[in-house]
Chain A
Amino acid sequence: MARIVIDPVTRVGGHLRVELDVTSGAVTDAWTSGTMFRGIELNLRGRDPRDVWMLAERICGTCTGVHALASVRAVENALGITIPVNARLVRNLLSGTQLVRDHVVGFYQAQLPDWVDAKSAITADPSATARLAATVAQRANATTEAFQAVRDRLEAVVNSKQAGVLGTGWWGHPAYRLSPEQNLLLLAHFLEALDWQRDFMRIHALLGGKDPHPQTYLVGGMAVAPPWGGPTGAVGRDHPTVPDRNAPMPLSTDGLTLVDTLLTSARDFVDQVFVPDVRLLLGAYPEWAKIGAGPGSYLSAGDLPDSSAKDPQFLFPTGRLATGNLAASLPVEQDTIAESVAASWYSYANTADGLVAAVTGETTPAWGGLALPLKTLEGAKKYSWIKAARYEGIPMEVGPLARLLVAVANGRAELGAALAEQMAPVGLTLDTLPGVAGRILARSVEAVVVIRQAATWLADLRTNLGTGDVAVADITFWDPASWPKETHGYSLGEGARGTVAHWVTIRDRTVVDYQVVDASTWNASPRDSVNGHGPIEAALASVAIADPARPLEALRVVHSFSPCGACAAHVFGPRATPGEGTR
């Protein structure tokens, strides 16, 4: 038995370490360790509840805006605020576009180097690559010259002494299987995706005012307001003229046209590049459908609402699936989400390693005193800054795959059809979906669905603004004098990478307690009190590792979850004690 240490795990958010026990070329046990703790919770306490979303947003800069939205929703829930239609649509546009962007970048920038060999790509024949590209999708820029140029660029870095991020890879590893032309095609799209995502995220710069970390959220709605007189109205008396056509005002006719243009080009990118590339990749690596299945239990909190009212219909429905029964969707209750610190560097006041409900969660960091530099976690009972989120004591996989399986179990035909359409060409079925291939496919399915839905939100927004409804924020409860002395709120939702839940307690106009459980608290969790493995740890079991010095196969499994150590490690607030304000 040999111990393999992967630290840092690259191409993830935050800081992640993975250790593997490998016997006869296969993983026999695995540990995922978050190696960063920031303690933002102390800073959330004592703040104005209308302010906390900005700091909560900084939990993650990769899933930008996700925690801002979760936070304003939690405070709105506590104060009983219903946001206007326009605000809901703008929020959906922001989080929907974030989801599509995250899925694309997660595939190209985070995952592709696990599957594509850059050194092989520079031996490709550009004209053969152009012919290959033509069989995948008809695109004007897929010319021999274009692929020649990409090949030259890659060659310049791969053969250079200055190798850069793409120059040093585990190139030549036996697990790479694509032809030189396939490699070149996908790497050309790697570069194209970089340009595309930048352009696409102008939607966030426009509607969010800033990107990353959009800054137009408000408790009660959005700060982005339509021009005086509605979308077609003049921008404003005495308002300076718009400096350039490139930068219209957000909810003006020109602004919405810009959003429309970017959504359309994103749909083209998803349809003509992302989906075909996923198909090409999974077609070339069919055995990865059976590798990395995970715990088999799934959770989706539901998100992208079609109404601001109490019980909206979500684009992605709420539900929970137990291992072995993917047909029955079970209910999700926020107060049943709990956490264990049995294997995490924290201590609980009243239980050594039992579960504590997140709604009353506590965090006292307690570094385990391991010798630094850390050689191995072997023998350490506590080994991560990430806590272990559990539902009824059971680890849950969250994320795109979980959402789609829950949607199918809820009988959501449109999502089921989109899924079936992409499963068939690569030979996947609902039974073989749990696994690395299924997780990758789930991202492209969601991208297809959400980018189309985004066009609907935009149309609804135009229609609604056109009726003269220009409200963007409900400020009935903006004044703290209108708040109760003490109130509690929560939000359950879905970011690109999985379930995000926030809990807030407001007392005397101040946040006294704040809790977060997000996607990586589930997926990248360590062992719990009954030694149950976290989902990534479970998925790594029995994965074959061809070369212990280059554990490429393990990276494929880890990256299929899009883990983020920044989000997960962790942000739970200790219970505030009276009079213990920080400011």
Chain B
Amino acid sequence: MQDDGLYAAMVRRGMTRRSFLRFSAAMAAALALPLTYAPRIAEAVSSARRIPVIWVRGQTCGGNTEAFLRSSDPTTAALLLDVLSVEYHESLLAVAGADADLARTNAMSLYPNGYLAVIEGAIPTGAGGAYCLVGGRPVADVAREVCDGALATIAVGSCAFDGGAPAASGNPTDAGGVHRVIGNGRLVTLPGCPLNTVNLAAVIVHYLTFNELPPVDLANRPLAAYGNLIHNQCERRPHFEFGEFALEWGDEGAQKGWCLYKLGCKGPETMANCPAARYGEKTSWNVRSGHGCIGCTTPSFWNAMGPAYKRIPGPIPFFPALSTDTAGQLMVGVVGAAAGGHALGMGLRMKRRRMITAREAKAAVASEATVAVVEAEPAAAIGPAPAQPLEAPAPPVVIPEPETGEPETAEPETGAPPEER
């Protein structure tokens, strides 16, 4: 049997064309593309061959692998067998020891510049790299090798993003993010503790569809997933506007699903798509279930976003561990945050963040009208339409035009929002 792409594989397993197109529509939503792109995504994905993946684990708790195991669109089994060919992943590989190393190096030589490198976990350089050894070698060496020969690198989770938990505070192992091992290679980071696996699927689908990685911010986070404040997409946001807050755990406000801002929620400072993407096949996310956001997609979040239950605005956090460039990335986040927030409810914060002028905020509001952002999940997008970050880093955000100007008409039903609820 030949590798004949995802669509054929899904049909073999009893998936209908209609549900496949629904998957494509969901992916278009995850990528913040107009739904008119769904047919193009469907076509690209169904004709694609399996992408080789080499997944390297550094200092990690394994949480991002676990997140990957919970993939639903497509399912993990489909990812493992039909969409990707995971040539190396220590948590899943049948062989061990030298043969595992061989599986990795074989794949590297078989697909030069043709595989995706996925890096999970932090890269330590202390003690000559001895704090994390894979096959007896410092993981930095292994990861560098793998990233060098990859068509692109995806850093999954906050540890691969900037060192995460091992790098916070004392950082005794001198742990850092994937920047340690990647030169000028193409990189997408998917911070989050752990990442939301929907975003990993979306990056892969974007690559299959457009043959390039999605537009990213200065920290290499895809704008589609990390371009908006949690606060602006939050289902509890209306309560913030009405001044309805949970004040103590389990109180009336908590039972009524009111805003968790006064219990320390970091949603107003955090860029991520958790409210729309959710976890567990869109079952829930932490604010929906009752606990505030802890800001885990933010650079150095273990230091910068704590204490977890102290409400913002508080004193501007002190960042002992920030290097100049991570501080710069944070600035991008802050600028984007304030711009995305525009006037509603954000006045206080913007006063605090003196780098944002009123004029810039107004410009951000004005820019909204010109940006095509589709609310593919109408119910989830309760907040105002999100704006692009004001000072978007170069290269500017480009949402590609459809080739013909018109979507393919073969499947007109895909233009409508998903019906089955």
Identify the A interface with B (CB < 8 A).
Answer: 5-15, 17, 35-40, 42-43, 45-48, 50-51, 54-55, 58-62, 64, 105, 109, 113, 118, 149, 152-157, 159-170, 191, 194-195, 197-199, 201-202, 204-213, 215-218, 220-229, 235-241, 243-247, 249-250, 258, 345, 365, 367, 370, 372-375, 385, 470-473, 475, 478, 550-551, 555, 564, 566, 582-583
| Most chain A CB neighbours (cut-off 10 Å) among B69, B72, B279, B294 | B279
Known: A38-B175, A223-B249, A551-B97. A43 touches B165 (CB 8 A): yes
Q: Are A47 and B306 in contact (CB under 8 A)?
A: yes
Pairwise interchain contact B255-A470, C-beta atoms closer than 8 A: yes
With A and B bound together, what is the CA distance between A209 and B291 in angstroms? 8
Contact B76 A199 (CB under 8 A): no
CB-based contact A212/B242 at 8 Å: no
Which of A39, A50, A160, A199 contacts B3 (CB under 8 A)? A160
Cβ-neighbour of B87 out of A113, A163, A221, A245 (below 8 A): A163
The winner among A37, A155, A157, A218 for most chain B CB atoms within 10 A is A37
- With the chains together, A118 CA to B80 CA distance in Å? 15
Which residues of chain A are within 8 angstroms of B2 by Cβ–Cβ distance?
A: 156
Judge whether B213 is part of the interface by a CB distance below 8 angstroms.
no
Cβ A11 vs Cβ B91 within 8 A: yes
Contact B281 A246 (CB under 8 A): yes
Of B59-67, B365-373, B386-394, B408-416, which stretch is located at the interface? B59-67
Q: Give the complex CA separation of A217 and B286 in angstroms.
A: 10
A118 to chain B, nearest CB (A): 7
Asked if residues A249 and B257 are in contact (CB atoms below 8 Å), the reply is: yes
- Contact A228–B252 (Cβ < 8 Å): yes
Assuming the A-B contacts A113-B94, A372-B133, are A244 and B421 also in contact, with contact meaning beta carbons closer than 8 angstroms in the complex? yes
- B89 proximal to A (CB < 8 A): yes
Q: Contact: B100 with A10, CB < 8 Å?
A: yes
Q: Complex: how many Å from CA A55 to CA B158?
A: 13
In the assembled complex, B398 has its CB within 8 A of some CB on chain A: no
Instruction: Report if B346 contacts A (CB, 8 A).
Output: no
Query: Are B283 and A39 interface neighbours, CB within 8 A?
Result: no
Identify 11 new A-B residue pairs, CB closer than 8 A, beyond the known A152-B12, A205-B283, A238-B244.
A12-B91, A37-B173, A42-B170, A43-B168, A164-B87, A221-B250, A239-B256, A239-B257, A240-B382, A247-B288, A475-B249
Within 8 A of A (CB), among B100-122: 100-101, 103, 110, 122
Task: Decide: B100 and A51 in contact? CB cutoff 8 A.
Answer: no
Residue from the list A165, A244, A370 in contact with B94, Cβ < 8 A:
A165
Chain A residues near B77: list those with CB within 8 A.
191, 194-195
Max chain A C-beta neighbours (<10 A), residue from B62, B281, B287: B62
CB–CB A168/B99 < 8 A: yes
Contacts of B137 in A (CB 8 A): 372-374
A153 to chain B: which residues have CB within 8 Å? 9, 12-13, 81-82
Q: Which of A35, A163, A209, A225 contacts B254 (CB 8 A)?
A: A225
Q: Is the CB of B244 within 8 A of A7?
A: no
Least Cβ–Cβ distance between A154 and chain B, in angstroms: 8
Bound: A76/B214 CA distance, A: 45
A156 and B3 contact, CB distance less than 8 A: yes
Given A61-B62, A156-B1, A198-B75, the answer on whether A8 and B170 have CB atoms closer than 8 Å is no
- Contact B280–A201 (Cβ < 8 Å): yes
Among B80, B97, B283, the one with the most A-chain Cβ atoms within 10 Å of its Cβ is B283
Asked if B176 lies at the interface with its beta carbon under 8 angstroms from chain A, I say no
Could you say which residues of chain B place their CB within 8 Å of the CB of A37?
A: 131-132, 173
Q: Does B290 touch A at the CB level, under 8 Å?
A: yes
Most A-side CB within 10 Å, residue of B9, B101, B130:
B130
B355 beta carbon closer than 8 Å to chain A: no
How far does the Cβ of B126 sit from chain A's closest Cβ, in whole Å?
8
7 contacts between A and B (CB under 8 A): A11-B90, A118-B94, A164-B87, A198-B72, A208-B286, A218-B249, A473-B250
Alpha-carbon distance between A331 and B26 when the two chains are bound, in angstroms: 55
Q: Is B85 an interface residue (CB 8 A)?
A: yes
Q: Tell yes or no: B19 within 8 A of A by CB.
A: no
In the complex, which residues 267-307 of chain B have their Cβ closer than 8 Å to any Cβ of chain A? Answer: 278-291, 294, 302-303, 306-307
B82: chain A residues at CB < 8 Å are 153
B167 → A minimal CB distance (Å): 9
Beta-carbon contact of A206 and B94 below 8 Å: no
With contact pairs A157-B85, A165-B92, A470-B255 given, residues A566 and B12 touching in the complex (Cβ less than 8 Å): no
A243/B379 in contact, CB under 8 A: yes
Main secondary structure of the interface of A (DSSP, over half): loop
Task: Say how far A478's CB is from chain B's closest CB, in angstroms.
Answer: 7
Roughly how many angstroms separate A478 CA and B3 CA in the complex, as a whole number? 58
B63-A247 in contact (CB<8A): no
Q: Are B169 and A225 in contact (CB under 8 A)?
A: no
Mask, B38-61, CB within 8 Å of A = 1, is: 000000000000101000010111
Across the interface, name the chain A residue whose C-beta is closest to B88: A165
- Point out which of B80, B250, B257, B282 has the most chain A C-beta atoms below 10 A from its C-beta: B250
Q: Which residue of A lies closest to B317 (CB)?
A: A583
Which B residues touch A246, using CB under 8 A? 281-283, 421
State whether A152 touches B1 (Cβ < 8 A). Answer: yes
Q: Are A566 and B60 in contact (CB under 8 A)?
A: yes
Q: Mark B161-178, 1 if CB is under 8 A from A, else 0.
A: 000111011111101000
- In the assembled complex, which residues on chain A have CB atoms less than 8 Å from the CB atom of B363? none
Distance of A312 from chain B, by nearest CB (Å): 22
For B252, the chain A residues whose CB sits under 8 A away are 228
> Is A209 a contact partner of B285 (Cβ separation < 8 A)?
yes
Tell me if A61 and B66 are in contact (CB < 8 A).
yes
> With a CB–CB cut-off of 8 A, which chain B residues contact A250?
284, 289-290
Q: Does B93 make an interface contact (CB < 8 A)? A: yes
Closest to A242 in B: B379
5 smallest CB-CB distances across A and B, nearest first, come from: A61-B63, A205-B280, A42-B170, A209-B289, A243-B379
How many Å from the CB of A338 to the closest CB on chain B?
23
What residues of B have a CB within 8 angstroms of the CB of A245 in the complex?
421
Residue pair A213, B255 in contact (C-beta under 8 Å): no
B400: CB under 8 A from chain A? no
| B86 in contact (CB, < 8 A) | yes
Answer yes or no: B128 CB below 8 A from chain A CBs: yes
* Contact residues in B for A345 (Cβ distance below 8 Å): 130
Is the pair B132, A36 in contact by a Cβ cutoff of 8 Å? Answer: yes
Q: Is B138 an interface residue (CB 8 A)?
A: yes
| B212 interfacial by beta-carbon distance below 8 Å | no
The smallest beta-carbon distance between B117 and chain A, in angstroms, is 16
- The one of B76, B133, B309 in contact with A374, judged by C-beta atoms closer than 8 angstroms, is B133
Whether A372 contacts B128 by the Cβ 8 Å rule is yes
- Decide: A60 and B289 in contact? CB cutoff 8 A: no
Kindly provide the distance from the CB of B293 to the nearest chain A CB, expressed in whole angstroms: 9
Contact string, B136-153, partner A, CB cutoff 8 A, digits 1/0? 111001000000000000
Q: Are A149 and B308 in contact (CB under 8 A)?
A: no
Task: Give bound CA distance, A173 to B190, whole Å.
Answer: 39
Q: Which of B96, B127, B173, B194 contacts A555 (CB 8 A)?
A: B96
Whether, in the assembled complex, B320 has its beta carbon less than 8 Å from a beta carbon of chain A, the answer is yes
Bound-complex Cα distance A163 to B54 (A): 12
**A118, B94: Cα distance in complex, Å:** 10
A238 CB contacts on chain B under 8 angstroms: 238-239, 242, 244
Q: How distant is the Cα of A164 from the Cα of B82 in the complex, in angstroms?
A: 10
Chain A residues contacting B239 (CB-CB under 8 Å) are 238-239
Most buried by A among B61, B71, B239, B256: B61
Instruction: Tell whether B348 is near chain A: CB-to-CB under 8 Å.
Output: no
Find chain B residues with CB under 8 A from A36 CB: 59, 131-133
CB distance from B308 to the nearest CB of A (A): 5
Contacts of B242 in A (CB 8 A): 238
Q: Which residues of B contact A7 (CB under 8 A)?
A: 97, 133-136
Do the beta carbons of A165 and B309 come within 8 Å of each other?
no
Q: Is the CB of B308 within 8 A of A35?
A: no
* Bound-complex Cα distance A154 to B12 (A): 13
Are A583 and B169 closer than 8 Å at their CB atoms? yes
Task: Chain B residues near A15: list those with CB within 8 A.
Answer: 57, 90, 132-134
Residues of A within 8 Å of B285, CB to CB, are 205, 209-210
Q: How far does the Cβ of A38 sit from chain B's closest Cβ, in whole Å?
A: 4
Instruction: Note all chain B residues with C-beta closer than 8 A to A157.
Output: 81, 85
